[in-house]
């Protein structure tokens, strides 16, 4: 679905944000991209809908080169939900706001209404459909920004820091959305700083540092003890369950559930 070959991006001020990335993401995968600020995560994903063009290397979306396509065209395949909802909200009503994206990619009539309803439902905003976005709190505005992208029905959905600034309820909502998208067979990619959120909801973790991909695999691998030095090089730490599991000699336990299972197994085994 998404293929990057030797991707390099150098900003006008000389910063080499992405320095040779080879990455392939198949349809239906759930991938998390992690790494400290400045490691190139945001720069990387912006190549997938054409907002940024490579300085060198190629990007292929759904089998076609991204190079010849306009952003408006690529946006039908790859929807990116950005961090700051206040940097995109412009409508006076929630429903009108959500309508913007799907309308742009060509939905009309019954299909449009269904898409909007589904997006509002998934983000828990159905009751607020007629409200002014700025009457909602920050949590719900962030969910509104997410709904605006979901309604577009893109095969690939990219979430840029979906849980930053969210409280527990908002985070649970985001987790439900991710699971829902995966169930629909859509590809989900999330940039996040929350290692627990990543370990519990994504089947694949890509770790970036200084414009390179330094680790790429399932959470069991990426958060296991042998990977800790690499994580540390980009100022990341494995979730507590992984660290505990290692300390107790229970192997790789990136999620709470896996740690408890391992603990139960260890206890049962005697």
Residues lying near other proteins in the complex (CB under 8 A) are found at 36-38, 46, 49, 51, 70-72, 75-76, 79-82, 84, 86-91, 100-101, 103-105, 134, 137-139, 148-149, 152, 164-171, 193, 195-196, 235-237, 239-241, 244, 247-248, 256-257, 259-260, 263-264, 267
Element (H, E) at 228: helix 228-233
What whole-number distance in Å separates Cα of residue 90 and Cα of residue 97? 7
Q: How far is the CB of 192 from other proteins (least distance, A)?
A: 10
Cβ proximity to other proteins: between 70 and 183 the closer is: 70
Q: How far is the CB of 94 from other proteins (least distance, A)?
A: 15
Q: How far is the CB of 176 from other proteins (least distance, A)?
A: 15
Cβ proximity to other proteins: between 84 and 180 the closer is: 84
Q: How far is the CB of 244 from other proteins (least distance, A)?
A: 6
Strand partners, 176: none
Beta carbons of 151 and 177 less than 8 angstroms apart: no
Q: How far is the CB of 117 from other proteins (least distance, A)?
A: 18
Cβ proximity to other proteins: between 6 and 248 the closer is: 248
Cβ proximity to other proteins: between 6 and 92 the closer is: 92
What whole-number distance in Å separates Cα of residue 107 and Cα of residue 124? 22
What whole-number distance in Å separates Cα of residue 270 and Cα of residue 259? 16
Cβ proximity to other proteins: between 148 and 252 the closer is: 148
Cβ proximity to other proteins: between 126 and 139 the closer is: 139
Longest dimension (CA), the chain: 63
The burial of 9, by beta-carbon neighbours within 10 Å (0-12 exposed, 13-18 middle, 19 or more buried), is given as: buried
Cβ proximity to other proteins: between 25 and 191 the closer is: 191
DSSP string, 127-155: GGTTS-GGGS-HHHHHHHHHHHHHTTT-S
E strand intervals along the chain: 2-10, 16-25, 30-34, 56-61, 64-65, 78-81, 156-160, 187-191, 204-209, 212-217
Q: How far is the CB of 132 from other proteins (least distance, A)?
A: 11
Q: How far is the CB of 138 from other proteins (least distance, A)?
A: 6
Tokens at residue 195, please? 């290692």
Tokens at residue 244, please? 């505990």
């Amino acid at each position: 679905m998404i293929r990057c070959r030797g991707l390099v991006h150098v900003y006008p001020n000389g910063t080499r944000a992405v320095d040779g990335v080879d990455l392939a993401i198949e349809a239906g995968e759930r991938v998390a991209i992690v790494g400290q600020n400045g490691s190139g995560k945001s720069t990387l994903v912006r190549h997938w809908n054409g907002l940024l063009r490579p300085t060198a290397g190629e990007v292929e979306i759904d089998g076609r080169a991204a190079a010849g396509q306009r952003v408006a065209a690529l946006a039908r395949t790859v929807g990116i939900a950005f961090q700051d909802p206040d940097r995109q909200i412009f409508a006076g009503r929630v429903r009108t706001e959500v309508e913007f994206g799907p309308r742009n990619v060509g939905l009309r009539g019954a299909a449009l209404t269904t898409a909007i309803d589904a997006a509002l439902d998934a983000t828990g905003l159905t009751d607020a459909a007629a409200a002014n976005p700025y009457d909602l709190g920050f949590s719900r505005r962030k969910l509104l920004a997410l709904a605006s992208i979901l309604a577009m029905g893109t095969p690939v959905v990219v979430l840029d820091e979906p849980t930053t600034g969210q409280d527990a309820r908002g985070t649970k909502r985001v987790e439900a959305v991710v699971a829902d998208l995966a169930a629909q067979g859509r590809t989900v990619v999330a940039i996040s700083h929350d290692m627990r959120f990543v370990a519990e909801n994504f089947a694949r973790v890509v770790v970036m540092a200084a414009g390179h991909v330094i680790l790429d695999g399932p959470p069991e691998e990426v958060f296991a003890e042998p990977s800790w030095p690499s994580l540390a090089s980009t100022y990341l730490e494995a979730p507590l369950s992984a660290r505990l599991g290692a300390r107790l000699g229970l192997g790789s336990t990136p999620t709470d559930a896996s740690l408890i299972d391992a603990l139960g197994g260890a206890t049962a085994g005697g």
